[in-house]
Amino acid sequence: MTDINETHDPALTSWIESANGPTADFPVQNLPYGVFSDGASGSPRPGVAIGDNILDLRLIEAAGLLPTEQPVFDGQSLNAFMALGRAGWSATRSALSRLLSTDGDSRLRDDPELSERALVPRAKCQMHMPVAIRGYTDFYSSREHATNVGKMFRDPENALMPNWLHIPIGYNGRASTVVVSGTDVHRPMGQTRAPGAEGPQFGPCRKLDIELEMGALIGGGNPMGRPISVTEADAMIFGYVLLNDWSARDIQVWEYQPLGPFQAKAFATTISPWVVTQEALEPFRVHGPAQSPVPLPYLVQRGAYNFDVQLEVRLTPDGSSDSTTICRTNFKHMYWSSAQQLTHHASSGCAMETGDLLGSGTISGAERDSLGSLLELTWNGNEPLELASGGSRSFIEDGDILTLYGRCRGDGYNVGFGEAGGKVLPAVDFTGET
């Protein structure tokens, strides 16, 4: 854990006016990292969101305003910076905080030529994948979500599998289909078997769903063969993104036994373009749910390892300007923390690397409107949701736009995550060779 320091001071303001006030999601207390391009330069480059602007990190690093010993922002991803580790991340955050604060380091503010070049309006920018994802693992760590799924598809009296309270359950996903917010997603094709049918058929998914998650991005890593402690794992987490693990429920039901999800999850995972650092989230650390039975010693965490992040999902039908908020929940509900997930992942000696992405698993709360998937919200399609624009949804239809939002609410300021959205396009017809 990182101590609360001067960068977290609620009284801090920025000389960039749009970063100030109770409605700003990107104040000087946040400083999330992303990769952007604009009309002035077609080259994607790292930046930090501050108010309605993006600060060009490549430019100010070259100007000598950052404490990096060697260039880490001269590429098209955040990986080189993430590889520095916690000390480098914290030193850079402190330098940025001083450069952008009203009463801090005035070198950027007092250089009109540099500040004009380095501060780019966000409205004029295109966002890109912030990180070159090396590996992607998705977990299943909300007790409420796992219980609901168990009730639906197994024994309502014994909804949780025997191992669930002892181990963070996960599976290896596809890094190649992790995409940034705003990327369209095609409805997947796959094998399904209708109830009572003798065999399967191949065709478009009919039960397309979302999973509202958070994604933890790893910086640094551990050598192959060396497990890590929960404390070490926490120190390896660079930051968090919003994550939608699109899911084909009908394909999943047919394929998941005996080895778990495969094609039902491999077709797309959407993340937000802004990475909110774990250091920015320090004021929002909270204790997670009590764990009973007590985990095995290597998974025991002493302290607060969850985060109070308010989340919501909105659905906008094709051609409509009216969106419906279908879910409001909170990251703090997770039974297994991201640090525990990472610890377990490395416990066999698995080498974790800079750029690895860990999905939290669907984030569901105890209330009906806090359930993080349509599978739960409509109880497998049996109780459709009414939409603000008219009509209803059991699962996602072609043309629908699903958007995730997240923010922490501090003492007079927000730490916002932006959004992670995508539009669903029709399946690409494929019948195989004839």
What average pLDDT does this structure show over 409-413?
Answer: 94
Percent of the chain with pLDDT over 70: 99
Which residues are marked as active site?
A: 145
Its sign, for the CA torsion 426, 271, 256, 145, is: negative
Predicted local distance difference test score (pLDDT) of residue 434? 37
What average pLDDT does this structure show over 164-178?
Answer: 97
pLDDT bracket for residue 280 (50, 70, 90): very high
pLDDT bracket for residue 430 (50, 70, 90): confident
Is the Cβ–Cβ distance between 412 and 405 less than 8 Å? no
pLDDT digits (tens, 9 = 90+) for 61-95: 999 999 999 999 999 999 999 999 999 999 999 99
The CATH homologous superfamily to which domain 6-128 belongs is: Fumarylacetoacetase, N-terminal domain (2.30.30.230)
Is the Cβ–Cβ distance between 20 and 51 less than 8 Å? yes
pLDDT digits (tens, 9 = 90+) for 357-373: 999 999 999 999 999 99
pLDDT bracket for residue 374 (50, 70, 90): very high
Instruction: Give the residue extent of every domain in the chain.
Output: 6-128, 136-425
Tell me the fold of 136-425: Fumarylacetoacetate hydrolase; domain 2 (3.90.850)
What average pLDDT does this structure show over 284-302?
Answer: 97
Residues contacting residue 382 through CB under 8 Å, at least 6 positions apart: 394
Distance of CA 265 to the CA centre of its chain: 16
Is the Cβ–Cβ distance between 130 and 100 less than 8 Å? no
Q: Is the per-residue pLDDT at 178 higher than 90?
A: yes
Contacts of the segment 63-72: beta carbons below 8 A, 24+ positions apart: 63/114, 63/118, 65/95, 65/99, 65/105, 65/107, 65/108, 66/92, 66/95, 66/96, 67/91, 67/92, 67/95, 68/92
What average pLDDT does this structure show over 252-264?
Answer: 92
Predicted local distance difference test score (pLDDT) of residue 224? 98
What average pLDDT does this structure show over 422-427?
Answer: 98
pLDDT digits (tens, 9 = 90+) for 216-238: 999 999 999 999 999 999 999 99
Q: Is the per-residue pLDDT at 154 higher than 90?
A: no
What average pLDDT does this structure show over 394-421?
Answer: 97
Percent of the chain with pLDDT over 90: 93
**What is the radius of gyration, based on Cα positions, of the chain?**
22
Distance (Å) of CA 285 to CA 281, 296, 419: 7, 23, 21
- How many CB atoms sit inside 10 A of residue 377's CB? 24
- How many CB atoms sit inside 10 A of residue 409's CB? 14
Mean pLDDT in the chain?
96
Residues contacting residue 227 through CB under 8 Å, at least 6 positions apart: 298, 343, 346, 347, 348, 349
pLDDT digits (tens, 9 = 90+) for 321-338: 999 999 999 999 999 999
pLDDT bracket for residue 191 (50, 70, 90): very high
Predicted local distance difference test score (pLDDT) of residue 282? 98
Predicted local distance difference test score (pLDDT) of residue 3? 85
Predicted local distance difference test score (pLDDT) of residue 286? 98
The model carries a pTM of 0.97
Q: Is the per-residue pLDDT at 40 higher than 80?
A: no
Cis bond upstream, residue 67 (ω within 30): no
H, E, C per residue of the chain = CCCCCHHHCCCCCECCHHHCCCCCCCCCCCCCEEEEEECCEEEEEEEEEECCEEEEHHHHHHCCCCCCCCCCCCCCCCHHHHCCCHHHHHHHHHHHHHHHECCCCCCCCCCHHHHHHHEEEHHHEEEECCCCCCCEEEECCCHHHHHHHHHHHCCHHHCCCCCCCCCCCEEECCHHHEEECCCCEECCEEEECCCCCCCCEEEECCCEECCEEEEEEECCCCCCCCCCCHHHHHHHEEEEEEEECCEEHHHHHHHCCCCCCCHHHHCCEEECCCEEECCCCHHHEECCCCCCCCCCHHHCCCCCCEECCEEEEEEECCCCCCCEEEEEEEHHHCCCCHHHHHHHHHCCCCCCCCCCEEECCCCCCCCHHHCCCHHHHCCCCCCCEECCCCCEECCCCCCCEEEEEEEEECCCCEEEEEEEEEEEECCCCCCCCC
Is the Cβ–Cβ distance between 310 and 284 less than 8 Å? no
